[in-house]
Amino acid sequence: MKRISYLLLSTVLFFGFSGALSANSFFVNQEESAYNLQHEANLKFRKEFGLEQRMASAKTMTSVMLISPKYGVYLTPQEERELDIRLEKQERIVPNLKRYIEEKYEDKLGMMYIDQSDGGSINIGIDSEEMLSNYDQENVKELFGEVGEINFFEAEASEKELDDLHMKIASDIDILSEEGIKVHYIDTNLKKQIVEVGLENLDEEIERKFKDYYSDRIELKISAPSQPDNRAATYTNLQAGIRINTCTLGFNARSGAANPSYYAITAAHCGSLGTTFMQGSNNIGTVIKRVFSNGVDAMAIGQNTNLTYTRNLYTTVSNGGFFSTRQPLSQTIVGQAVFMSGQASNTVTSGTIVSLNRTVTYPSDGAISNLIAASYSRTGGDSGAPVYNSNMLMGVHSGHVGNDALYSQIERVINQLNGTCSNCFIPILQ
């Protein structure tokens, strides 16, 4: 009998300790996984913004750096200050620089982009037959040099020419599909001066067809399909960045009437016309306007008169930021810094704009062109989240293709939601 009791006790102890060890291993693995993701994000950010790579070591991250609530990665206080100064100058000066080149040199401007990995250098592509004189180049640098290094180069193709090629391919997506060529995405890549096309399959015959049909200024790649991406307490004051159904609230809007109506804006693929949306335990209304075309994946939900619709933003904390302005489409430039605050990621992620015209095909809604592609990280459930820089609202997060996030530019969102009504949907910015 004693022997049986001893065996039973041994068995219980063995399985008890095994369970404890297994649980401990689970939490250790979870912590390691979270750390690895953070470390990977930190390395990616530092490379993209031209920061010293050796500072991203595990020892340095925990000893002299803190997670930046603004940038969502480990930075030293000096690095954060220097990035703040760099991005403030870009936001203030680059739109005026672009306008100056366009007005003074008319059709000579081929393209312009910012290279954050090169310390935020401004790169201006001029028509190869219309290159500015050294005097004109030096004059531009003297007028706008506060922003940092300004480089001129000969553009072999203009942004417009690349976009025209892009849209020609986009208009043929269904025809290409009938020929067995499945297009996952199309991207106007200004840095490479090419149109990049992501395909399900690629062989010599497909390469030949693209060259015959279109141009040799195309780069073909095999890619994964594009995917749309799907905080959770109940709020009576609605703010951007909080969870609504399985998606994220992008920003709040109102009508221009004397007795205005109020709306929450998110991504269109998150629901259909008439879909009811919950924020925590509050019913915030149903979808009354939905647009999925021409660079816009957005819809309006409204309204619950018992709630307050604010301009505030959930960053790493509730009401951690706010919007006071929105970005004009003409001031959206490759290389600009962007930030996203999504309920699924549950933090602020950051990156740069990599393309002003990305065409993708979503399984649920089909093809959509003119999305902005950026390098910030995201996860399922971030759909609809605000994309911004400081207090400037830049767009609404849509989804991703490969490593790039996709968003709808704010001016396009407002214009297409409004349609023929000029002031039905006005972002709340004060």
For residue 403, the surrounding DSSP H or E stretch is none
Q: Compute the average pLDDT of residues 352-363.
A: 95
Query: CA-to-CA distance for 109 and 350, rounded, in angstroms?
Result: 29
Q: Could you tell me the pLDDT band of residue 7, with boundaries at 50, 70 and 90?
A: very low
Coil/strand/helix, residue 251: strand
Is residue 8 over pLDDT 50? no
Backbone angles phi, psi at 353, to 5 degrees: -70, 130
pLDDT-based confidence at residue 83 (cuts at 50, 70, 90): very high
Residue with tokens 């159904």: 245
Domain ranges of the chain: 159-222, 227-427
Asked whether the predicted pLDDT for residue 118 surpasses 60, the reply is yes
Q: Give the pair of three-digit tokens for residue 35.
A: 């750390």
Average pLDDT for 89-98 = 96
In 38-102, beta strands by DSSP E: 66-67, 74-75
Q: What residues contact 296, with CB distance under 8 A and at least 6 apart? A: 268, 368, 408, 412, 413, 416, 417
Query: pLDDT class for 400, splitting at 50, 70, 90?
Result: very high
Does the pTM surpass 0.85? The reply is: no
For residue 203, CA distances in Å to 144, 194, 224, 285 come to 47, 20, 16, 49
Bigger pLDDT: 17 or 173? 173
Closest CA to 386 of 278, 234, 264: 264
Task: Indicate if the pLDDT at residue 4 is higher than 90.
Answer: no
Out of 312-316, 349-353, 357-361, least confident range: 312-316
- Name the band, by pLDDT with cuts 50, 70 and 90, for residue 371: very high
CA–CA gap between residue 267 and residue 214 (Å, rounded): 33
Residue 67: strand pairing partners: 74
Domain 227-427: assigned CATH number: 2.40.10.10
Answer for the pair 407, 371: CB distance below 8 angstroms, yes or no.
Answer: yes
Q: Dump pLDDT digits (tens) for 255-285.
A: 998 899 999 999 999 999 999 999 999 999 9
Residue labelled with tokens 């990977």? 40
Contact call for residues 241 and 311 (beta carbons, < 8 A) = no
* Tens-place pLDDT, residues 183-240: 999 999 999 999 999 999 999 999 999 989 998 899 999 998 877 765 888 999 999 9
Instruction: Provide the token pair at 296.
Output: 């816009």
pLDDT score, position 20: 43
Q: Which 3 state secondary structure label does DSSP give 321?
A: strand
